[in-house]
Amino acid sequence: MAIFVDDSTKVVVQGITGRDGGFHTREMIAYGTDVVAGVTPGRGGQVFDDKVPVYDSVAEAVEKHGANTSVIFVPPFGAAGAVFEAADAGCKLVVCITEGVPTVDMVKVMPFLKERGVRLIGPNCPGLLAPGIAKLGILPASIVKDGPVGLVSRSGTLTYEVVYQLTAAGLGQSTCLGIGGDPVIGTNFLDAIEAFNADPKTEAFVMIGEIGGDAEERAAEYIKAHVKKPVVAFIAGQTAPPGKRMGHAGAIVSGGSGTAAEKIKALEAAGIPVAERPLDIVPKLQEIWKR
């Protein structure tokens, strides 16, 4: 099993005829993801790579092919509109890869999705990859291995790094999930941890956080109260100066809150080992996980 996707996942790619959308659609198809349609307004009637029909709207893709999941490769100015469209058409999972989506746009999107029971992953994220089931986004398939370790991360680059280390150590993954580091995102640590905790395939998991916000602190409280599975964490940005954004729009220490020290303290108080370096994550997991 995996979280958020299964064998019934049927994907429509919004922005399929663009450079990034086209490249990553080919990668998703090559992995075995069921990409049933693409959408680019004004390009309806085309066929992408002689395989995937292209429509002018998501509603057509849902009606004709039963698409229930959208992956969005649309420029920032149109990304929120693409999320609205996918949700309104009936997609229950939307993965928005786009970087630079205005926060004010996401503030408008979230209540719309909540009313319709739609899960959003992202924006500004690498998406998710469930080994042997589906690749939704840009995570490199060559580094994953099927297995029992879940991974959720605010950082795309660290997602790749730690997945590679897990695979190299012979520890396969149940689901690799990049949630993004913007101030307003659809799926947060708490959502992912609840899902991993309920997933029978996931026996242990890794949480990669970073400075800014209080998502890691809230996750630590939930883990302490509800999770019995082994968990290891890492917090990026430990040397970041206050008031300076580091990488992600949400990765900023402001007013003395959101520091790495605060997050590490909260995690350790919940009994969660925190690695000092990404290189230490897998050894720490092996220490506490008696397989």
Alpha-carbon span 204 to 181, nearest angstrom: 23
> Considering 24, 65, 226, 248, which one is annotated as catalytic?
248
pLDDT given at position 215: 87
Per-residue pLDDT of 253-275, as tens digits, reads 444 457 888 899 999 999 999 99
Helices (H), the chain: 19-31, 58-65, 76-89, 103-116, 156-168, 189-198, 215-226, 260-269, 281-288
Are 280 and 154 in the same domain?
yes
Provide the CATH number for the domain around residue 225: 3.40.50.261
Residue by residue, DSSP assigns 48-69 as: ETTTEEEES-HHHHHHHH---E
**Residue 77 within a domain:** yes
Residue by residue, DSSP assigns 125-148 as: S-EEEETTTEEEES--GGG--EEE
What average pLDDT does this structure show over 1-11?
Answer: 94
Give how far the C-alpha of residue 58 lies from the chain's centroid of Cα atoms, to the nearest Å: 21
Are 63 and 150 in the same domain?
no
Closest CA to 70 of 39, 107, 102: 39
Encoding tokens for residue 97?
Answer: 């890869």
What average pLDDT does this structure show over 186-209?
Answer: 96
Are 198 and 281 in the same domain?
yes
Using pLDDT thresholds of 50, 70 and 90, give the confidence band for residue 214.
confident
Contact 216, 209 (CB under 8 A): yes
Are 174 and 229 in the same domain?
yes
Per-residue pLDDT of 10-61, as tens digits, reads 999 999 999 999 999 999 999 999 999 999 999 999 999 999 999 999 999 9
**Residue 135 within a domain:** no
> b vs e for 164-203, b when ≥16 Cβ sit within 10 Å of the residue's Cβ?
bbbbeeebbbbbbbbbbbbebbbbbbebbbebbbebebbb
**Residue 254 within a domain:** yes
Are 192 and 152 in the same domain?
yes
Alpha-carbon span 139 to 35, nearest angstrom: 16
Are 65 and 169 in the same domain?
no
Are 68 and 208 in the same domain?
no
Are 106 and 144 in the same domain?
no
Provide the CATH number for the domain around residue 95: 3.40.50.720
Are 164 and 279 in the same domain?
yes
Are 92 and 182 in the same domain?
no
**Residue 39 within a domain:** yes
- What is the average pLDDT value for the chain, to the nearest integer? 92
For the chain, how many structural domains are there in total?
2
Encoding tokens for residue 225?
Answer: 């109260």
Are 145 and 281 in the same domain?
yes
Contact 40, 54 (CB under 8 A): yes
Per-residue pLDDT of 114-167, as tens digits, reads 999 999 999 999 999 999 999 999 999 999 999 999 999 998 899 999 999 999
Alpha-carbon span 84 to 79, nearest angstrom: 9
65 noted as active-site residue? no
Q: Which residue, 87, 121, 155, sits at the end of a domain?
A: 121
Does pLDDT of 250 surpass 90? no
**Residue 213 within a domain:** yes
Are 58 and 181 in the same domain?
no
Per-residue pLDDT of 71-122, as tens digits, reads 999 999 999 999 999 999 999 999 999 999 999 999 999 999 999 999 999 9
Alpha-carbon span 53 to 122, nearest angstrom: 25
**Residue 6 within a domain:** no
Range of the domain at 22: 11-121
**Residue 133 within a domain:** no
**Residue 216 within a domain:** yes
